[in-house]
Chains A and B, each alone.
Chain A
């Protein structure tokens, strides 16, 4: 457990976090690996975890009917994958697929929600970190929607 705690604390998501909280959160973490091509989660499934990517690369995909799945974002070492665990109804909105062998920490959402409920300061700390990620993704999505490289008419 000590080793997991140390490795976890080195992930970018936990940078600057009170070691006491890291110690608390390590109880919700487990090591996972996904082979290239395998799904990490599928759209509509219950969002039980989020993932802190340690190594490898994964893609968030949407699969429109009668069209090939479209990659809308990739995540790699140091990134966070998924926030549906945080927001009801706790269902994944996208597919996530490993593009190469991907190692990550899976953080148990129910476990985290319980700890946050018991300690609102921890809850605020986690929400603060997730809100930054959500804001960055929103900004990126705006830029993608603007299609800035398209020919302007």
Chain B
């Protein structure tokens, strides 16, 4: 069992292989919720599939509009189809939401640090996801389930705003039906006929079936939700250096040169987005960051 897990930033020269987007074609568009959609992309050229590690992101370029960092949400063992789920919240993603099958998009990446899935071998793995934060965690879950025997308990705790906002609903049902993964879903508010849990995702942590002394926790969601999730995990006995968070900042270049995503002494695009919690703990408490 590893005693000191860490995620390593890729070497700069490897990350900065190109600033030139590679052309991909939209193969499939899925409306996940009212404001969230998934694009399945295939390369236009005959080049190699875009291999990635769970937790990494790509810079997606909507031509004539702009470029945004979007985490990869597909199966890392099926890199032939590049999958991105995002919310239509800004100028670029609102136009991206109108892309349909056959249209082109530019892709740079993959960038950033991955979830420490391999290092978690032999441990329970607790995934705490909030809202759209489930998207960057889905590749980790795919990998965990693909190599299920390597891990102890696998627990997914997912919280979102309302039942209508639940992401990957059918997939959650399939995971829930398995005997080798524990899935708990809660919403912040609901009306009948919802019969599931109502309450914040942090309240799932005290009762979740994992051994805090031999668990690795992966958290992604709004920053406040992540901070309170960390408090609950630590209260339960999970060591801080076994807790990993994925941060979101204003990433522009994706390779740690432009400085837009600076977070204290860190560049989130290159040294993150996945960080061991102790590395960012002090900076998360700084209001101005």
Query: Which residues of A are interface residues toward B (Cβ below 8 A)?
Result: 57, 59, 68-74, 76-78, 99-100, 136, 139-140, 143-144, 146-151
Contact = CB atoms under 8 A, between A and B. Distances in A.
Given A148-B225, A151-B35, A140 B199 contact: yes
Contacts of A100: 195
Interface residues of B, number: 30
Contact of A147 (B89, B161, B190, B198): B161
Interface string B115-134: 00000000000000011100
Contacts of A74: 186, 196-199
Interface string B176-203: 0000000000101111101111111011
B191 A144 contact: no
Contact of B191 (A71, A147, A148): A71
A14 B151 CA distance: 33
Contact of B188 (A68, A136, A144): A144
Contact of B198 (A68, A72, A150): A72
Contacts of B228: 139, 143
Nearest to B190: A71
B188 A99 contact: no
B113 interface: no
A90 B26 CA distance: 60
B200 A69 contact: no
Contacts of A77: 207
B191 A149 contact: no
B192 A149 contact: no
A105 to B, nearest CB: 18
B188 A59 contact: no
Nearest to B197: A74
A69 B222 contact: no
B20 interface: no
Nearest to B132: A149
Contacts of A143: 188, 200, 202, 224-225, 228
B35 A68 contact: no
Given A148-B222, A148-B224, A150-B161, A140 B194 contact: no
B56 interface: no
B160 interface: yes
Contacts of B260: none
B189 A71 contact: yes
